[in-house]
């Protein structure tokens, strides 16, 4: 099992493959076991989460699975009852607010996955 962490931004961020921003690397498949989003700040924050198939782009009407979820200060959101399998090029993308500087937010995300 592997985990990846990232500080969410006000711009689209795929934390699975941050180096290339292309989602799951070529030749790989990942089973997502858990997604955690923690508000490390002292004020409410919001985020969207998108599941984007290979070859598609972020589209609020099509790819968004969490819409403007408000996360109170010091709270953690857990997405763990659904099972998601990502193939090469698929991505989990976050967009968050408010901006605390340099397009960063007080939201920290962790994704746990297994390569299948």
Residue 33, CA distances (Å) to 12, 30, 98, 111, 112 in order: 22, 9, 27, 8, 6
Q: What is the mean pLDDT of residues 89-99?
A: 96
All structural domains of the chain, each given as residue ranges with its CATH number in brackets, are: 2-115 (2.60.120.340)
Would you state the structure tokens that stand for residue 63, as one six-digit string?
A: 């790819």
Confidence check: pLDDT of 16 > 70: yes
pLDDT tens digit sequence for 26-70: 899 999 999 999 999 999 999 999 999 999 999 999 999 999 999
Q: Report the predicted TM-score, pTM, of the whole model to 2 decimal places.
A: 0.93
ω into residue 98 within 30 of 0, thus cis?
A: yes
pLDDT band for position 75 (cuts 50, 70, 90) = very high
2 neighbors 83 (Cβ within 8 angstroms)? no
108 neighbors 9 (Cβ within 8 angstroms)? no
């Amino acid at each position: 099992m592997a985990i990846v962490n990232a500080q969410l931004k006000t711009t689209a961020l795929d934390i699975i493959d941050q180096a290339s921003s292309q989602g799951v690397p070529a030749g790989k498949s990942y089973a997502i076991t858990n997604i955690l989003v923690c508000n490390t700040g002292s004020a409410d924050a919001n985020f969207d989460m998108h599941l984007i198939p290979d070859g598609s782009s972020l589209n609020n009407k099509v790819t968004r699975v969490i819409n403007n979820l408000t996360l109170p200060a010091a709270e953690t959101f857990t997405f763990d009852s659904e099972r998601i399998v990502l193939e090469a090029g698929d991505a989990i993308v976050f967009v968050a607010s408010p901006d605390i500087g340099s397009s960063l937010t007080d939201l920290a995300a962790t994704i746990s996955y297994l390569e299948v």
